[in-house]
Structure 1
Amino acid sequence: MYVDLGNALDAEPRLTREALERLDERVADAHDRIERGRAEAAHGYASLNLPETVDPAAVRRAVDRFDDPAAVLSVGIGGSALGAATLAEALGTDLDAYVLDNVDPARVAGLLETLPLSDTVVHVVSRSGTTAETLSNFLIVREAMADAGVDWTERTLVTTGPSGNLRNLADRHDLPVLDVPAGVPGRFSVLSTVALPVAALAGHDVEAIVDGARAEADRLAGSLFESPAYAYGATCHALERRGAGVNAMMPYAESLESFAEWFAQLWAESLGKDAVGQTPARALGATDQHSQLQLYRAGPRDKLVTLVRPRERPDVAIPETDLDGLAYLGGGSLADLLDAEFRATEASLAASNCPNVRIEVDRVDERGVGELLYGMEAACIMYGELAGVETFTQPAVEWGKRAARGLLGGGDVDAEDAVPEKRRLVID
């Protein structure tokens, strides 16, 4: 992974090279804390050990029992689903890859009407084995399979913790089970048994994904000027402290659109605490040059734009044309056009003094995706260390879960006490 900070300096908000050099002393201290956490496999920090602790062979063994499925359905929520969606979209697959990560009844019913249930592998993921949304969706999918005469026990893979309802179900029906890694929060679990089975089912090289992550891990160092991941995390923190409270993640590859959604969860849930943190926005180049770029360039000076692209990509030639005014396109290619759009956006933002960072990988392949995902996780952890927040907790999320369980009568809060009386101002 390559990180270019040039356009993040001396923009608005203003961050100088000298300020980064001063911040680098704190980066060194933060790196030491991170390394101690890794050595102890402490909660959260253990995420950065996944390139060494995950077992790709175990993932392959778990999926080998499923012969050439037509589709894979990931059932989870948040980090238990977004990682799988990111890998499936980024790497592509001959399988039809679906994700159920919400409980919208219209979406669930519509998917079940079209899903080839007899030829679908269901991968259900819940560390606790009690996640309401995940278990509700899984029960519905299981019933749909049974109603269609499909033996759901032959089509289901479980990833869960050491105990809980889902573990008990897997043991009772002799389902293949992978363990959720200890000490790894869901939003940091993409490089583990939580998401890698989807890549394995699609025939991708899981070892290469892990190798890419390992290569990025080897580049972690006590200076932001020696570590791309730390350079990005430290720069984001420094700009946020100066007023850049929004970070727009804008990949120039449609295969990375789900990556931007994955990044949004990672950034928001990890760093949004104690009245600090950047609000992640999602954009897609070149599409959103024709919409959101207007705001980034001419709106409030509270944004950082992160531009992501591969250095190499597949290409499609643009035919020659005799249409007036379009001759300049003929003989070129879509990759050339997209690259020109990328460079123009980068220059446009710089000309308007909007800070932007360029992140590149060689290719959107297994190794490149492994580098990118690990790099963003390490950047997030560095940001959290510098900001002094509890990166690996999510108390605001837990509040909402507890209240929802109370409303449904399944928690430790009475339904009438779960949510205070809503203040209303209704306009009919």
Structure 2
Amino acid sequence: MHVDVGNALSEAATPGVPRDALDRLDDRVADAHRRISEGMDAGEFGYAALNLPETVDAGEIRAAVEPFADADTVLTVGIGGSALGAAALCDALGDDTRTEFLDNVDPAGVRDLLDGIDLSTTVMHVVSRSGTTAETLANFLVVRDAMQDAGVDWTERTFVTTGPDGNLRDLADAHDLPALSVPDGVPGRFSALSTVGLPVAALAGVDIEGVVAGAREERDSLTGSLFDCPAYAYGALAYALDSRGAGVNAVMPYSEGLETFAEWFAQLWAESLGKDGLGQTPVRALGATDQHSQLQLYRAGPRDKMVSLVTLRDRPDVPIPSSDLDGLDYLDGASLGSLLDAEFRATEASLAESGCPSVRVELDALDPESVGGLLYGMEAACVLAGELYGVETFTQPAVEWGKTAARGLLRGDESLPETPSLRVE
């Protein structure tokens, strides 16, 4: 992962970060790095996620999924971090097997998905650390019932990733289901590079060893200075821009394979940093598509945004056929890749011209090593930002409140806080 923060400096953008402020901020980065390193060395909750490139066992994962290598479709039943990491990896790198994700309980969506796959050639991966997540267990029961109705022995087409206790672990033990353990001390949104995210990626044909190797290389780049560490440069600049008014972080990859990465990033950034009245709001965009929608707002709207532009240094290409249509001579000899690169450069220049801060994140290619490094780098950036904000990065009390309230409603407890009502019908 390569990071360029030049267009986020005060000489180029408003809000922007003065160069001398970076020097002062770097002292705080050094202190934060020491705390992060201590947490990693001790395997503390949350910080243990940054050890995954060393602790994850790719061989164990491959052995666990080998019985399902014949699957035409892999259906992940999970929510949030139990699904988004795997989805980001599969959408960026997978090509052998169809992957689907049941990460919502919208009845129409669940029905349409199940109607569109052959359950006899589908393997189901059920993921929940607690083994009690309402949405995950509900969807599992629906899929299990659909398999039984289709004459499929669900016990032969299911494996789980869960914690040591809970309904899902009990189910796996009762039916002798293959079961992987979620890693200790790793919150779900930081678990892409583990038994949570990698099994489905392996079934989808992803070189998970390459993903882990790329993450390990990014781990080795963690130093006590933002000037030497791409991950820390990104996290520190995002924090510094937010403190100067850029409370929105629009993540805009110029690769459709990274569109789901932006969804994964949104959960990572929002759930980790949104506490105590602090944190940036992540926004998802896609280049070049959203140049025709959101870019207008970034350039001419409120000065409360930074744009994270993610691009590839090398990509497959498709030539653009020559045409005799008027006004298209500039496409002669061009390719879709060169057009997309021109769109990227033009967007970056457009943001700079209008004074909107942007950060460029470059990958060498859309390959396992680069994607592994990107996911790890953004996790490290998030942990650093959490240290700078001074928040509890690895908890999610607001999410837990909502889960508890939803379970209460299902049990008949209607004692939610009263809220004002103004109906317009």
Partner Cα separation in structure 1 for residue 417 and residue 245 of structure 2 = 34
Q: What is aligned with 2:383?
A: 381
**Mapped contact 2:288–2:344 kept (Cα < 8 A):** yes
Q: Secondary structure at the match of 1:307?
A: strand
Instruction: Give the CA deviation at 1:416.
Output: 2.8
Q: Secondary structure at the match of 1:64?
A: helix
**Mapped contact 2:94–2:205 kept (Cα < 8 A):** no
Q: What is aligned with 1:119?
A: 121
Choose 257-266 or 88-97, whichever is displaced more.
Answer: 88-97
**Mapped contact 2:94–2:206 kept (Cα < 8 A):** no
Q: Among all aligned residue pairs of Structure 1 and Structure 2, give the percentage whose two residues are the same amino acid.
A: 70
Partner Cα separation in structure 2 for residue 327 and residue 14 of structure 1 = 39
**Residue of 83, 86, 103 corresponding to 2:85:** 83
**Mapped contact 2:125–2:159 kept (Cα < 8 A):** yes
Q: Secondary structure at the match of 2:311?
A: strand
Q: What is aligned with 2:268?
A: 266
Q: What is aligned with 1:190?
A: 192
Instruction: Give the CA deviation at 1:323.
Output: 1.2
Partner Cα separation in structure 1 for residue 85 and residue 76 of structure 2 = 10
Q: What is aligned with 2:220?
A: 218
Partner Cα separation in structure 2 for residue 144 and residue 330 of structure 1 = 53
Q: Secondary structure at the match of 1:46?
A: helix
Q: What is aligned with 1:9?
A: 9
Q: What is aligned with 1:156?
A: 158
**Residue of 368, 371, 383 corresponding to 2:370:** 368
Partner Cα separation in structure 2 for residue 228 and residue 14 of structure 1 = 18
Deviation per residue, 1:33-61 (Å, 9 max, x gap): 00000000000000000000000001000
Q: What is aligned with 1:303?
A: 305
Matched, 1:285 2:287: yes
Partner Cα separation in structure 2 for residue 407 and residue 204 of structure 1 = 41
**Residue of 344, 350, 353 corresponding to 1:351:** 353
Tell me which amino acid in the other structure corresponds to 1:3.
Answer: V
TM-score, normalising length: structure 1: 0.98
Q: What is aligned with 1:421?
A: 418
Tell me which amino acid in the other structure corresponds to 1:257.
Answer: E
TM-score, normalising length: structure 2: 0.99
Tell me which amino acid in the other structure corresponds to 1:357.
Answer: V
Partner Cα separation in structure 1 for residue 379 and residue 118 of structure 2 = 35
Tell me which amino acid in the other structure corresponds to 1:338.
Answer: L
Partner Cα separation in structure 2 for residue 178 and residue 67 of structure 1 = 16
Q: What is aligned with 1:179?
A: 181
Tell me which amino acid in the other structure corresponds to 1:278.
Answer: Q
Q: What is aligned with 1:250?
A: 252
Tell me which amino acid in the other structure corresponds to 1:42.
Answer: E
**Residue of 264, 270, 275 corresponding to 2:277:** 275
Choose 88-97 or 357-366, whichever is displaced more.
Answer: 88-97
Instruction: Give the CA deviation at 1:421.
Output: 2.9
Deviation per residue, 1:51-84 (Å, 9 max, x gap): 0000000100011011321101010000001111
Q: How well do the aligned residues superpose, as a CA RMSD in angstroms?
A: 0.8
Partner Cα separation in structure 2 for residue 334 and residue 52 of structure 1 = 39
Q: Secondary structure at the match of 1:416?
A: coil
Partner Cα separation in structure 2 for residue 273 and residue 12 of structure 1 = 25
Tell me which amino acid in the other structure corresponds to 1:111.
Answer: L
Tell me which amino acid in the other structure corresponds to 1:191.
Answer: L
Q: Secondary structure at the match of 1:415?
A: coil
Instruction: Give the CA deviation at 1:14.
Output: 2.6
Q: Secondary structure at the match of 1:72?
A: strand
Tell me which amino acid in the other structure corresponds to 1:367.
Answer: E
**Structure 1 spans left out of the alignment, 5+ residues:** none
Instruction: Give the CA deviation at 1:112.
Output: 1.1
Deviation per residue, 1:350-394 (Å, 9 max, x gap): 000000000011011111110000000000000000010000011
Instruction: Give the CA deviation at 1:226.
Output: 0.6
Partner Cα separation in structure 2 for residue 67 and residue 80 of structure 1 = 21
Query: Within 5 A, what are the aligned runs for 1:375-414?
Result: 375-409=377-411
Matched, 1:63 2:65: yes
Partner Cα separation in structure 1 for residue 312 and residue 214 of structure 2 = 14
Instruction: Give the CA deviation at 1:292.
Output: 0.2
Partner Cα separation in structure 1 for residue 372 and residue 227 of structure 2 = 21
**Structure 2 spans left out of the alignment, 5+ residues:** none
Query: Within 5 A, what are the aligned runs for 1:95-110?
Result: 95-110=97-112
**Mapped contact 2:158–2:178 kept (Cα < 8 A):** yes
Instruction: Give the CA deviation at 1:324.
Output: 1.2
